[in-house]
Amino acid sequence: MCDACGVARRWHEDPPLELPRAPAWHELSAAWLGGMWGILTAAGALALAIPPLREAIGIDVTWIALEVVLAGAATWSSWQEAWFQKHFNQAQVTAPTSARTGQPFEVQLKLVPYERIDGLDLTVELVDRYYVDVERRGRKQVETRQRLVDRVVLERGARLGGRREHGYHATFDAPFPSTVHEHLGAQLIASVLGPIGFLVPGLGHYARNLREHGGFYVRATVRSGIFGRRFEQRVIVVHVGSSIAFG
């Protein structure tokens, strides 16, 4: 079969999906946010580099340095999101809402790129997020931690055809829920910080993470070079024996 015939046959057997065109960079809200935060990062860095300018502003160097760090992180996060919106029409992780200890469960990852993408790395992980009580300077505090239960590499340097649906599957064995996934102290702290979130977005984000931290999560990572994105979904693991445990 000649190359032309092979291409024609593939086009007939696997026709491209009818998708809108890939959005231009200027059509992406995340790109505009990345530009705005980038300007703030550059302005802060300029103030740090030029002492007379910093003195004219009248803000302590510590606060300017903090602004540069936070704005830089926001710039990077926004451009990560913009890259994904530019290249993918759809991305979805599907996992069961619950699983029984010792039983396998399947995770599905679906990707629909606008155009062909080369060098894509795809991984799926099962992560256990939990709470621990620690003592610092004589005071007991709650901390959030996580451990990797299992990891499956789906692709390394893959090439995905544009305007086509690509599906991947991974299987995990549901573990025993031996860690603390609910913590009264964490819920109280989140309840106190939550109402302040509209004034200080960072505190609101921290409160949501603190409240929703505990549990087993399926985490899929889609990465191409320095750009990537993670998708997460919680799976409630139930153990039924002499006692019932879940997490």
Tokens 């024609």, residue located = 8
pLDDT reported for residue 195: 66
**Exposed e or buried b for every residue in 32-41, given b needs 16+ CB within 10 A?**
ebbbebbebb
pLDDT reported for residue 204: 57
Q: Strand, helix or coil at 16? A: coil
pLDDT reported for residue 70: 84
Q: Where are the domains of the chain?
A: 3-85, 95-246
pLDDT reported for residue 40: 92
CA 200, CA 72: separation in Å to the nearest integer?
18
- Residue 236, beta-bridge partner list: 98
pLDDT reported for residue 7: 44
pLDDT reported for residue 114: 95
Nearest C-alpha neighbor of 236 from the set 220, 214, 221:
214
At 23, give phi and psi (nearest 5°): -65, 145
CA dihedral 198, 202, 205, 209 (to 10 degrees): -140
**Predicted TM-score of the model (pTM):** 0.77
C-beta atoms surrounding 129 within 10 Å: 21
The CATH architecture assigned to 95-246 reads: Sandwich (2.60)
Nearest C-alpha neighbor of 241 from the set 31, 101, 62:
101
Nearest C-alpha neighbor of 105 from the set 146, 167, 150:
150
pLDDT reported for residue 197: 53
For the chain (247 residues), the mean pLDDT of every run of 10, in chain order, is: 50 70 92 92 92 86 89 87 92 93 94 94 93 78 86 95 93 89 66 60 56 81 91 86 68
Q: Strand, helix or coil at 58? A: coil
